[in-house]
Structure 1
């Protein structure tokens, strides 16, 4: 495991220290600092940019060859950090004795450590991790006109006011793909100069607003229509087993929604989140995988297999099998038999 200890002065200093460890190239364009590396530590891009009133953004798109422990030594002021993971996962802990917590993909995460402590993020090895950190320095943000922090709930408001009784603070909230859409838009800005900078700042504020709204709903035991709870995720995992057991039956969105007790929108959001596919795309792929196994391991006819996986016709099955695997079902079975005999 590699370990980097960062003296947490500001994001520019932090990126300089990462550059010193990883090497690579560090350049600045329109206020955004960009570190790119590809060496024995892995490969990736780390970007940072600061705005007024203590707001900054650090964005990681990395893949490490060894597990990496990134330790930040906090100073007299610590930021509130809004974290969103688009790919992969992280572990996090504060101090040396606490157990590391898993931070999951698409989850709404807010942390605020104690001053003069150690916060540790652990990146897994050989996993592509895309994560952004929106950091707000509390004292600076409190001086902002119309900051409206009084509208936050009492606990989060006290965190911004640095009432140490409620520190460290951690919120592991619901899962939301709409936030991911805005994160993706922010990452893929192709404009230049002031347009790019304003675009990043605008998206950052939208993401921050969405994370605060998610937090508000979570604390009030409400759920946004576009959000999924841990319980919802568990239901969708269990639904995948139901689909396998009933693969020969007509599996409509309405039927599956009723089975799992979630709305059609939440069902689709959950499948996109967990499998990067719509419900129908997931079912279609599963039918093809099960059919391929039947062709490989049984003597069932193609027509019998088509019936068992619930596909409407043999010709349609041959078409989609060929499109996905690049070979017709009959040719696939013949190839398997030739390999078995040789």
Structure 2
């Protein structure tokens, strides 16, 4: 077992400690850090970026050759760690031989820690683990006392000035995983990159807080929750529909393909996309139609039938609902409309 102690929430000190312990190649560009492991302790990448207002984002995507413990010591800044597991699993415990809890694939975790106590994350040996941490310094002050995001988070998670340690493990959430993919897909540079990263990180933070709120509200009713494997099936079916929206789908056929009951499938789509299965299929067809109108020479009737619709009038109606204009008008003015679609 290998243990790494991190005694700061400053991104540069965190990566200095990680580099000292794991070796590898550390690359620093502007305020972004990237540590590529060289195989001595495992394979993969650890990335991080410092954002405004005492917020940092760190992402581990690693397969380690030994069990690794990362001990994050609480500081006077009273950090909150908003976590999300995209692959594998990690266990969390506090210092002092306390019991551990597991953070599994697609789950969120919110970790608070009083001064002089440790948040301990344990990575399994030889398992690919992808985990994201949004670290928030809750004592960051601004001009108007009590108005900053940091102060509001402190008031929410350290209630009534009782600065106790706590860990909240949320239910499964695929939307956060999709936002993390968007984050990793950013190819812009300079200020555009910084603004896009900051926007997505703040959105992930909002989704994690909302997940906690929803879970606490539903705590008394544990029925109807999907397992991680079931959510994975919903995700696979969603991607299949997105790739082939023109197919003639039925709920029965999709249920059989996924191995889920009709009700489980509908529940998963409502949770992941906030739509029924039917509405999701229609939305994906309309998105595909917009792409075809914009990028091909197909006429409107050809587009309608190529995406699985049989009624041009129905297609025109729902296209206008989404893009606020008729398909013909969109095609005739695509250069000016495509940017706002």
**Structures share a fold, TM > 0.5?**
yes
Structure 1 residues 3-152: aligned runs within 5 Å = 3-140=3-140, 146-147=147-148
Q: TM-score, normalised by structure 1?
A: 0.64
Q: Residues 168 and 94 from structure 1, CA distance in 2 versus in 1: closer, same or farther, beyond 3 angstroms?
A: same
Which residue of the other structure, out of 177, 180, 183, is the alignment partner of 1:186? 183
RMSD between superposed Cα atoms in Å: 3.4
C-alpha distance after superposition, 1:226-272 (max 9, x if no partner): xx9884218949x9xxxxxxxxxx953468899474352516979xx
> Separation in 1 of the partners of 2:21 and 2:186?
28
> Separation in 1 of the partners of 2:9 and 2:261?
52
Q: Residues 21 and 151 from structure 1, CA distance in 2 versus in 1: closer, same or farther, beyond 3 angstroms?
A: closer
Q: Residues 162 and 58 from structure 1, CA distance in 2 versus in 1: closer, same or farther, beyond 3 angstroms?
A: farther
Q: Residues 100 and 143 from structure 1, CA distance in 2 versus in 1: closer, same or farther, beyond 3 angstroms?
A: farther
How far residue 50 of structure 1 moved from its aligned partner, in angstroms, is 1.1
C-alpha distance after superposition, 1:205-235 (max 9, x if no partner): 1111111111111122289xxxx98842189
Find the structure with the greater CA-based Rg: 1
> Separation in 1 of the partners of 2:15 and 2:260?
49
What is aligned with 1:264? 266
What is aligned with 2:226? 232
SS of alignment partner, residue 53 of structure 2:
helix
Q: Residues 180 and 259 from structure 1, CA distance in 2 versus in 1: closer, same or farther, beyond 3 angstroms?
A: closer
Q: Residues 171 and 129 from structure 1, CA distance in 2 versus in 1: closer, same or farther, beyond 3 angstroms?
A: same
SS of alignment partner, residue 102 of structure 1:
strand
Gaps of 5+ in 1: 240-249, 271-342
Which residue of the other structure, out of 197, 208, 233, is the alignment partner of 1:211? 208
What is aligned with 2:276? none
Q: How many residues are matched?
A: 252
Q: TM-score, normalised by structure 2?
A: 0.65
SS of alignment partner, residue 218 of structure 1:
helix
Q: Residues 7 and 162 from structure 1, CA distance in 2 versus in 1: closer, same or farther, beyond 3 angstroms?
A: farther
